Amino acid sequence: MAREFRRVVTGHDENGVAVVESDNIATHRLQRPNRPGVTLTNFWLSASTPAEYDGPTETCDGPFILHPPKGGSVFRVVEFMPEDPEVLAKLDGKAAFAEMGAGANIVEGARHPFMHRTDSVDYAVIMTGEIYMLLDEDEVLLKAGDVVVQRGTNHAWSNRGTEPCSIAFILVDGVTQRDAPADQQKGIPAR
């Protein structure tokens, strides 16, 4: 059974005093039969950078999309139950990702049916358990407390262990260096 996450959102009252504006269980979740054992829970979506911090507290309405909004970011946790290799061999990664608006992101013929790529920089923290991050040829075993900066590369997540693994992700919309505006190509932020 997937974990429920309490989501606390702060803000300001009419006098500018810091307050809790929302304190609820996060409900923007995705579980589906064609990706068994995986639950995604979104906590926050920002549609722009810099992000607004004084608007509505419910930003995760609508369909569950894999990528962050164009020019924005998404904060989520993904829970991976241990994989069953026999079940995995029968799954259609493209169909599963299509449900999240990302069927074209699947890498055809890859060594894992959920190998994919997003045009984003993803900050990940392994919260519990352990998991293999698969790249085109490499793989890395990650354990609780490890962090990953995923920079638009082909990748898949494979829980080959016996315990669930939870990963906190912040995905930030991105571009390659060659596609970035000229003033950003050397790492200089635009203002």
Convert the pLDDT of each residue in 116-169 to its tens digit: 999 999 999 999 999 999 999 999 999 999 999 999 999 999 999 999 999 999
CB 41 within 8 A of CB 76: yes
Phi and psi torsions of 104, nearest 5°:
-75, -10
Joined together, the tokens standing for residue 114 give: 């959920």
CATH number of 30-176: 2.60.120.10
Q: So what's the pLDDT on residue 191?
A: 44
User: pTM higher than 0.95, yes or no?
Assistant: no
Q: How far apart are CA 124 and CA 131, in angstroms?
A: 12
Q: How many CB atoms lie within 10 A of CB 83?
A: 21
